[in-house]
Amino acid sequence: MKERIIDLLTYSNEDPLLFTSLYFWVFFGLVLLFYSLTYKRMAARNAYLFFVSLFFYYKTGGFYFFILLVSTLVDFFIGKRLYANQNPLHKKLWLALSITVNLLILIFFKYAYFFADFFTQVTGIEVTVYNYFSWAVNETLGTDFVWEKILLPVGISFFTFQTMSYAIDIYRGHVKPVKNILDFGFYVSFFPQLVAGPIVRAADFIPQLYQPYSLSKKTFGIGFFWITNGLLKKLFLADYIAVNFIDRVFSNPGSFSGFENMMALFGYSLQVYADFSGYTDIAIGTALWLGFQLPKNFNSPYKASSVAEFWKRWHISLSTWLKDYLYIPMGGNRSGSLFSNIMIGVILLFLSLLAADWWITLFFISLVGACYLIARVSPTF
């Protein structure tokens, strides 16, 4: 019995906590049970959901939740400095620090191998990538995490984009800093959307932290619809066609006719949509039951009449985030933006070739990208 309890409370790479597992729904039921004791007091409610979310992320991604904590701490204190500082130059430097740290974390875990291979091919110098974070945890806690290679932390893009939006929104004056670090930690780690999105902007979510809990019969019903819709998409559409058709064709395409191969390709596009949108539907529904609204992430993309309209309907939170925080600040469709974007790409490539070590390359790419982004984040820069 004791061993079973330990297994339930500790991370297992073979059995992560997923929305489609029975364990998650037992976990969510317990969360709601104890939530009934805290929801009337905002500070206690936010702190409770923060620690619950940390446990969820630990069960999903192991000790990588320390990365989430580092990102949370950095941007919480930078947000305070951004809001309190009246010197325009100092505000820009604080924003540059926030963007640089977040981009370094994201690039290291997602693109370290890409840049290392590129550097090796260009210079002929062999570059070996190690997961120094796992090595440090092993040395400190005596664990045995793999450090010889980099494993991608779950949901790193989502919480990185969210912490960046927090600093940028404070800089732009769209939102005020949160009252304490537990509130901010809750915003960053809110478990329904932490793993599969949607991306939640600070200006949209932080005001909800200080609103009283409310759950009407109508809202409960809407949440139930979203959860049911997501489970049907994931379990009875995505997983079913994957196991019973798509995986079989892809594993041995020569044994099937051309028509069956073509239908498997169409089926795969349907599987990806049902899988991804199913998870976000569940996230929206569970968040509603907890009293928080998340943005809609998919809008029937396969009903689009053009490719452009398709991308407006697919992963809406990411496409609008990139548009508002990257594309428009970097010039959008304005005259001259193409030249400036090409120039910044040339600069980044040049710095990559000059760097003697892969971590220097990542640092300069993140630094220059951050400086260029904050230079465009406000028309008054």
Label residue 1 by pLDDT band (50, 70, 90).
low
Higher pLDDT, 122 or 353: 122
The DSSP code sequence of 93-132 is HHHHHHHHHHHHHHHHHHHHHHHHHHHHHHH--------H
Scan for tokens 């390709």, then name that residue: 265
C-alpha separations of 273 from 25, 57, 120, 243, 270 in Å: 23, 24, 36, 16, 5
Label residue 270 by pLDDT band (50, 70, 90).
confident
Query: Per-domain residue ranges for the chain?
Result: 17-204, 215-290
Over residues 211-268, the pLDDT tens digits come to: 888 888 899 999 999 999 999 998 888 888 888 888 888 888 888 888 888 888 888 8
Label residue 106 by pLDDT band (50, 70, 90).
confident
Long-range contacts of 137-144 (CB under 8 A, 24+ apart): 137/63, 137/66, 141/63, 143/63
The DSSP code sequence of 264-307 is HHHHHHHHHHHHHHHHHHHHHHHHHHTT---------GGG-SSH
What is the Cα–Cα distance from 185 to 68, expressed in whole angstroms? 9
Does the structure show a pLDDT above 50 at 42?
A: yes
Please give the backbone phi and psi of residue 36, each rounded to the nearest 5 degrees, phi first.
-65, -15
Q: Mean pLDDT in the chain?
A: 79
Does residue 86 contact residue 174 with C-beta atoms inside 8 Å?
no
CA 300, chain centre distance (Å):
22
Does the structure show a pLDDT above 50 at 30?
A: yes
Does residue 126 contact residue 120 with C-beta atoms inside 8 Å?
yes
Q: Which of 47-51, 173-177, 303-307, 347-351 has the lowest mean pLDDT?
A: 347-351
Long-range contacts of 224-228 (CB under 8 A, 24+ apart): 224/285, 225/285, 226/281, 226/282, 226/284, 226/285, 226/288, 227/281, 227/282, 227/285, 227/286, 228/285
Q: Which residues contact 34 (CB under 8 A, 6 or more apart)?
A: 48
pLDDT of residue 63: 76
Over residues 319-367, the pLDDT tens digits come to: 788 777 776 666 655 544 555 555 544 444 444 444 444 444 444 445 5
Over residues 43-82, the pLDDT tens digits come to: 889 999 999 999 888 888 777 788 888 889 999 999 999 8
The DSSP code sequence of 138-163 is HHHH------SSPPPPTTHHHHHHHH
